[in-house]
Chain A
Amino acid sequence: MYGRRACQLVKELSDRDAGQLTAFNRDLFDQVIKECSAHHLELQSLMRIIQEGGLDIQTTRNADHFGAAIHHLALIRNKRCLMAYVYNRTGTIQSLRWKVGPVLPQEIQEKLNYSEEEYFKNYSAALESYMSELELDLTVDMVPPKDPYIQVRVLDDIGDVLLSDQSPNLARHSMHFLKRTDAEQFISQGLMEELTG
C-alpha cells in the first residue's frame, strides 16, 4: 500500500520518548525515496499516454489522469512525511545543543546522519555568534534561581578550576559550596550533582 513506509518513519518519531533520538533510519528513508522515484516514473508515463492520445493534459479526466493524480498525491504525501521526519529530528538536535553543550558525546553522534551533524555544528556556531554579540551566555541559568550558592558533590575528578570567586580543587567525592552559574555547566555535563535538602 502506498505511503506505508513513510507512515512507519513518522511513527518512529512518536514511539520514542520526547527529547530522545533514535538512530537515523537510513534504510527506511532510502526506501521511501525509491518509492517516490517509482511514483514519478509512473506519473510521467501516464502523462505521456495522455499526450500521445492527443488529449489536453490540463482538462482531460480519464482513467490515466486519475492514475497520474494518485501517483502525484502519493508522492506529495511521501514528501511531507520525509520532511516531517527530518524536521522533527532537527528540533531534537537543537534542544540537545541547549541541554548538553557544543560537543556531543559519542553515543549521540552515532545516531545522527552526516547532514544532521553538519546542521548541529552550524546551529551551534550561529548560537555562539549570537551570544558573543550580546556578551551573554544564554545556556546557563535555565531555572529561576533560589539561592546564589548551592552545595554540590563532585562525581568525577576535575582538578583545580578557576571560578569567578574561588579556585577549588574539584576532587572526586568532595563537596563544595559553589556559585550556581559556575556549577551549572558541570552539572549539565554530569560531572557534579547538586545536593538538595
Chain B
Amino acid sequence: MASGSEDGLGIPSKDYDSLIATTDVELLKRAWQNEKAAPEILQFQADLIRRSQEQIQLMEDTVEEYAENGTDPLTVSLYQMDLDRTQFLLRSYLRIRLQKIEKYMLHISKTELWNRLSKQEQKFAKRSTDHMEKHLKQSVLSRLPYGYQSILKQSISSEDDDMGTISSFCANHFFLMCYCLFLSFLIY
C-alpha cells in the first residue's frame, strides 16, 4: 500500500482513497453487521482480521508521521477519526463474538460451531467453560446429594443431557414459574 507522493501540504485524494477506503474496511463493516445481527456465532474471518490489523497499524504510523511533520491538523484529525472508526469496528466485532461464546459455551463446544472459532477464541472458550464448571461444582453441585451432581444431567437417572444448555438457566423463565406458583399459593 504505497503512501503516494505527498507534497507535505495536501494529500492527493486518490492516495487518500487507496490508503483508507480499501474494500477491507467495507468487508469488516459487513462482517461486524452480520455478527451483530445473527443470533449464533458465524465463521471467524481470520484473513480479514489479520489484514485489518496490519492496515490499522500502518495507518497509525502514517498518522503519527503526518502529525509530526506538521501537516494540516484538520487532515490529521480526519485520518485519526477514520482510524478510530475502523478500530471500533474491529474491537466491536471481536467483543460480540466473545459475548456469544460466553453465552453459549457448552453448546458451542459440543457441536460443529466449535470450528467457527479462531484458535485464540477456542482457547478462551475452553478456559471459560472450565472456570464456569468449577464454579458451579464448588457452589452447588458438590453440596447436592449423590446422583444429582452432574452439570449436564438433572440426575443420573436421566437418559439425555436434560439440564439443557447452560443458557437455559435463565432466571426469568423460572421467575415466571415461581411467580405463578406464588400467586396460586396466595389465592388459596
- Spell out A's residues near B (CB within 8 Å): 1, 3-4, 6-7, 10-11, 13-14, 33, 36-37, 40, 72, 75-76, 79-88, 90, 94, 113, 115-116, 118-119, 122-123, 126-127, 129-130, 133-134, 136, 138, 140-141, 144-145, 147-149, 165, 180-181
Sort A-B residue pairs by CB-CB distance and give the 5 closest, nearest first. Answer: A40-B145, A7-B178, A126-B127, A122-B131, A119-B135
Tell me whether chain B's interface is mostly helix, strand or loop, or mixed: helix
- Taking CB atoms, residues of chain B closer than 8 Å to A4 are 185
Contacting pair B174 A36 (CB below 8 A): no
- Tell me whether A81 and B174 are in contact (CB under 8 A): yes
A-chain residues with CB within 8 Å of residue B175 when the two chains form the complex:
10-11, 13-14
CA distance A134 to B98 in the complex (A): 13
* Residues of B participating in the A interface, judged by any CB pair closer than 8 Å: 53, 67, 77, 80-81, 84-85, 87-88, 90-92, 94-95, 98, 102, 120-121, 123-124, 127-128, 131-132, 134-136, 138-140, 143-145, 147-148, 154-155, 163, 166, 169-172, 174-175, 178-179, 181-182, 185
- CB-CB under 8 A for A130 and B139, given A72-B155, A84-B169, A136-B91: no
Q: Are A130 and B84 interface neighbours, CB within 8 A?
A: no
Assess the B120–A133 pair: CB atoms within 8 A.
yes
CB nearest to A119 among chain B residues = B135
CA A94 to CA B135, docked complex, whole Å: 13
Flag if B140 contacts A11 (CB, 8 Å): no
Residues of B within 8 A of A90 (CB): 132, 135
- Closest A residue to B131 by beta carbon equals A122
Instruction: Give the distance in Å from the alpha carbon of A190 to the alpha carbon of B182 in the complex.
Output: 41
CB pair B135–A145 under 8 Å, yes or no, is: no
Does B84 lie within 8 Å of A148, measured CB to CB? Answer: yes
B135 touches A1 (CB 8 A): no
Contact of B124 among A6, A82, A87, A127 (CB under 8 A): A127
CB distance from A162 to the nearest CB of B (A): 16
Residue of A nearest to B155 (CB): A76
Q: Chain A residues near B181 (CB, 8 Å)?
A: 3, 7
Neighbouring B residues of A94 by C-beta, 8 Å: 102
Q: Are A86 and B135 in contact (CB under 8 A)?
A: yes
Chain A residues in 8 Å Cβ range of B98: 127, 130, 138
Cβ B80 vs Cβ A11 within 8 A: no
Quick check: A138 and B95 within 8 Å, CB to CB?
yes
A138: which B residues are within 8 A, CB to CB?
Answer: 91, 94-95, 98
- Give A13 to B144 CA distance when docked, in angstroms: 21
Most buried by B among A90, A148, A180: A148
The answer to whether A145 and B132 have CB atoms under 8 Å apart is no
Q: Are A14 and B94 in contact (CB under 8 A)?
A: no
Measured in the bound complex, the distance between the Cα atoms of B88 and A138 in whole Å is: 9
Pick the contact of B174 from A75, A80, A86, A149 — CB < 8 Å?
A80
Select one of B67, B102, B139, B147 contacting A86, CB under 8 A.
Answer: B139
A56 to B163, CA, bound (A): 28
CA–CA, A113 to B169, complex, Å? 20
Q: Which residue of A lies closest to B154 (CB)?
A: A76
Which residues on the A side are within 8 Å of B154 (C-beta)?
A: 76, 79-80
Question: Does A10 contact B174, Cβ atoms closer than 8 Å?
Answer: yes
Is there an interface contact between B144 and A36, defined as CB atoms closer than 8 Å? yes
Contact A123 B128 (CB under 8 A): yes
- CB contacts (< 8 Å) of B88 on chain A: these are 141, 144-145
